[in-house]
Amino acid sequence: MATAKVREILSWYSSENPGVKANLARLMNTGRLAGTGKFVILPVDQGFEHGPARSFAPNPGGYDPRYHIELAIEAGCNAYAAPLGFIEHVASDYAGDIPLILKLNNSDSLSKGHEPCSAITGSVEDALRLGCAAIGYTIYPGSGARNEQYQDLRELILEAKAVGLPTVLWAYPRGAGLSKEGETAVDVVAYAAQIAAQLGAHIIKVKPPKDHVEQAEAKKVYEKFGIPTASLKDRIAHVVQSAFNGRRIVIFSGGEAKGTDEVLKEVAEIAAGGAFGSIMGRNAFQRPKVEAIQLLHSVMDAFAKAK
């Protein structure tokens, strides 16, 4: 039975059909955070995005696709997200053990010098065939190829909704119009969350924002209205507010691998800012499994304690 919190969150998606709502509920009712409306998801698309050695050499067990889903299950994650190949390798043997999110587009790091744009590498039909609870997709707001990404996404969301699958959207600002620092600027990350919500995403994944305002036009507004950005907690609250005043599920990435104390300090601020959870890959699976589970449990505890 869904808790009052889960039912409240589902009420924010009033236009959705019962299938989409049931799968959102499935995600929220799985793992150690079941019923709280909070999420910790294990994503493993790094082998495709960054290469096998960079992703798995620190913990060679990770070369095996089974390692990651077993880690997600043993840690009590809400879901496991990966590209087609990894999901196909594990979907049958672990059917029903944990909700799966099929990442429908990916890019590699071999080609340089072009505007960021991921290729579509899976389909809604694949997600259904493999028993997934949701589809995943990445957009790059700021890229010269962003309009193509938005248009492709709109068709995929419509197709997924028709068969009862919600969409988890990675919204990563990137492109020639943004500085490297600007990719995680508070105004840009908040803008990306707004774009993702407007495109119809059910769960939005962004990076933790830094205390920097990239756009000159936005800077005037931030100063005029005194929007607080000094602490990570304040910046997280602003990004969540930017996704329909907190009426869309916004979760934050764990970023590049770092020490346990640093991870947990950041997570505490993210949770205090009203985030719905974390989607943590390298910071988890690049550690020995026992350490990874301990870390994921600590992250889950931080969100469980937050209001």
User: What tokens appear for 137 in the block?
Assistant: 């997709």
CA-closest candidate to residue 277, choices 101, 21, 49, 34: 34
The residue with tokens 């793992």 is 31
Strands (E), the chain: 39-43, 79-82, 100-103, 105-106, 119-120, 134-139, 167-171, 203-206, 249-253, 277-279
In the three-class reduction of DSSP (H, G, I as helix; E, B as strand; rest coil), residue 297 is classed as helix
For residues 250 and 37, give the distance between their C-alpha atoms in angstroms, rounded to a whole number.
Answer: 11
Question: What type of residue is 59?
Answer: N
In the three-class reduction of DSSP (H, G, I as helix; E, B as strand; rest coil), residue 94 is classed as coil
* Contact yes or no for 213/35 (Cβ under 8 A): no
Per DSSP bridges, beta strands 119-120 and 105-106 are antiparallel
For residues 212 and 229, give the distance between their C-alpha atoms in angstroms, rounded to a whole number.
Answer: 8
258 is catalytic: no
For residues 15 and 30, give the distance between their C-alpha atoms in angstroms, rounded to a whole number.
Answer: 24
Q: Which of 21, 103, 161, 205 is catalytic?
A: 205
* Contact yes or no for 254/283 (Cβ under 8 A): yes
Report the catalytic residues: 205
